[in-house]
Structure 1
Amino acid sequence: MKKETTFSTKGHSAAVGSLSIQRMLPNQYAAKVGPFVFLDYVRPVVKEVITKNGMGAHPHRGIATLTYILQGKVEHFDSAGNEATIRSGGAQWMKAGNGIIHDENLNYDSLTESKFIQGFQFWINLPAGNKAEKPAHMAIQAAEIPKKTFPNENGWLKVVVGSYEDLSSEIPNYSKQFLYHIQLKAGTRFSLTMESETEVAAFLPAQNVILNDTEFQAGEFIEFDRGAGEIEINNPSLTTIDVLLFGGEEYTEPVVAEGPFVMNSQAEIATAYRDFYAGRYGEIKLTAQK
């Protein structure tokens, strides 16, 4: 049985520094999908000038941030002393835990022939028991992301978060969660089955796609029902398509989100702000001039 869709939306436009983004989650219909509570899509744009000053240092607490860059180069700096660079196809994960300040610098990837930048930032809500842990960071290059190639080279599935068949991402799991990037060549299809009570959504970055016999437009965010069932992705077009599927088990603890913090109570939000203004998250100290 194929899963039913519960809603679709194109989110809303916003600006992050000089970037034009599409905010897909939270939206008017849903505040979260599994442990995922936030999704910004950086739409494809040519970036001619290399910037060096970052996008603006800011704090986080209670979540893990996940940046997945399709095209471009992302430099990361944080107050725990982590510095790393990922390039096109790579991902970086940062557990904010009990508080951290970070910044990212997004530029085109000089190792490719393209000056386009395109990517995603997710926030993954941490269980209450993990929100008080120390921050951590992980940078994963494109070649390190597990990948399953479909028969006849009709496409592939990358496991950015979670597991699929015998593949597992290096990114830690604090609950059942997954983020798959699926690419299908023209005229092909692919299906996978979801367990009951799994929250799952799809995002279509750049092309129209048929999901379970219904065509959706480029830029749409689609959520499915929680019943067990199949999700079929069909590409009837003449070009290759990309689909992101993500979600996991329902986050059942209270969720209180304000600004860059996601906690379990308003009192914890107040503490998060108080600790930030008291300087308890530290400061970014670069080991070398970038």
Structure 2
Amino acid sequence: MKTIKEIHKASYHPIADLITYNPLPSPKLRQIDPFIFLNHHGHQTYPKNNNGLPFGPHPHRGMETVTFILEGDIMHKDSGGHESVINAGGIQWMTAGSGLIHAEVSSDKFKKEGGDLEILQLWLNLPAKLKMTKPRYIGLQKEEINHFELEEGKVYVQMIAGDWENNQGSFDTLWPISLSTVHLKKGGKIQKDIPQEENVFFYIVRGEVKIQGEKVPFRNLIEFNNDGKSVAFEASEDAVVILGHAKPFNESMVAQGPFVMNTNQEIMQAYQDYQEGKFGTWE
């Protein structure tokens, strides 16, 4: 088994009236290459006639975002012409690549009626050779995402990318990565083979899991050593885990604001290109 290197508790960083916890990056952990950033919004309940999510138009370059909608909804619009409203259980995958402008806000229905909201956004780095790839966006509702069950129904896996138990991910990726959302009922167990050289992303969204004899509650990110070929855990209460793994890029990374590049010069160029309107227009 891969042994635990350290457990990182998410810190509280509210954004306007949005409850937000952030486990990555942290003072002790810059990245789990190529996983570079995670915001965990909620759980919270919005009243009727609320303002919804506060993420109006903003640019990105050099990375990808994967957005997990556990409760509520999210309305996406970008300068590439993509628009969608994804509801609870759905996933968004956006490749910023060479650059785009997008907004992530709540639907008019959610702002009018209110309700529960819990959304996570994970940033994935892009390798240098793909930094300037053409932007793209795909949003899938819950029923469109491949899934399977284990442990006689105690474990429900949403297969987002890669493959597991001969089940293929729902999103075609530009580089090899495995990513899934794992829902476990109390007592549900998982053991997944993961190549020794791959880095593991393991975040507990809800509940509590027992791993290597230690109980770890939600809003914790587990960092593993590259010393084994599998990860095993059990739900000590109903739980939700985001589980990913990939080979590290082992490249220099400069992250500044919404841009993730390899050098400071590329960051300066990103700001210049954005100011010159090269990320597309926003109406």
Q: CA deviation at 1:184?
A: 1.6
1:86-105 maps to which residues of 2 (within 5 A)? 86-105=86-105
Name stretches of at least 5 consecutive residues in structure 1 with no aligned partner.
Answer: 286-290
Q: CA deviation at 1:261?
A: 0.2
* Aligned residue number for residue 20 of structure 2: 21
* Aligned residue number for residue 63 of structure 1: 63
Q: CA deviation at 1:108?
A: 9.7
Q: Please tell me the root mean square deviation across aligned C-alpha atoms, in Å.
A: 2.1
Whichever residue aligns with residue 79 of structure 2, its letter is S
Whichever residue aligns with residue 241 of structure 1, its letter is A
Asked if 1:276 is matched to 2:258, the reply is no
* TM-score, normalised relative to structure 2: 0.92
Query: 177-186 or 47-56: which moved more?
Result: 47-56
CA gap of 1:52–1:9, structure 2 versus 1, over 3 A, is: closer
* Aligned residue number for residue 254 of structure 2: 256
> Quick check: 1:157–1:181 contact (8 Å CA) kept in 2?
yes
Whichever residue aligns with residue 3 of structure 2, its letter is E
> Quick check: 2:78–2:101 contact (8 Å CA) kept in 1?
yes
Asked if 1:137 is matched to 2:137, the reply is yes
CA gap of 1:145–1:53, structure 2 versus 1, over 3 A, is: closer
Whichever residue aligns with residue 74 of structure 1, its letter is I
Aligned-residue sequence identity (percent) comes to 29
* TM-score, normalised relative to structure 1: 0.90
Query: Deviations along 1:158-212, whole A, 9 cap, x unmatched?
Result: 1123221322223232333122211221223221121111111311122221012
* Aligned residue number for residue 5 of structure 1: 4
How many residues get paired?
Answer: 280
> Quick check: 1:87–1:109 contact (8 Å CA) kept in 2?
no
Q: Distance in 1 between matches of 2:108 and 2:226?
A: 39
Whichever residue aligns with residue 36 of structure 1, its letter is F
- Does the residue aligned with 2:179 lie in a helix, a strand or coil? strand
- Does the residue aligned with 1:44 lie in a helix, a strand or coil? strand
Q: Distance in 2 between matches of 1:51 and 1:172?
A: 34
Whichever residue aligns with residue 106 of structure 1, its letter is S
> Quick check: 1:50–1:107 contact (8 Å CA) kept in 2?
no
Q: Distance in 1 between matches of 2:206 and 2:239?
A: 8
Name stretches of at least 5 consecutive residues in structure 2 with no aligned partner.
Answer: none
Whichever residue aligns with residue 262 of structure 2, its letter is N
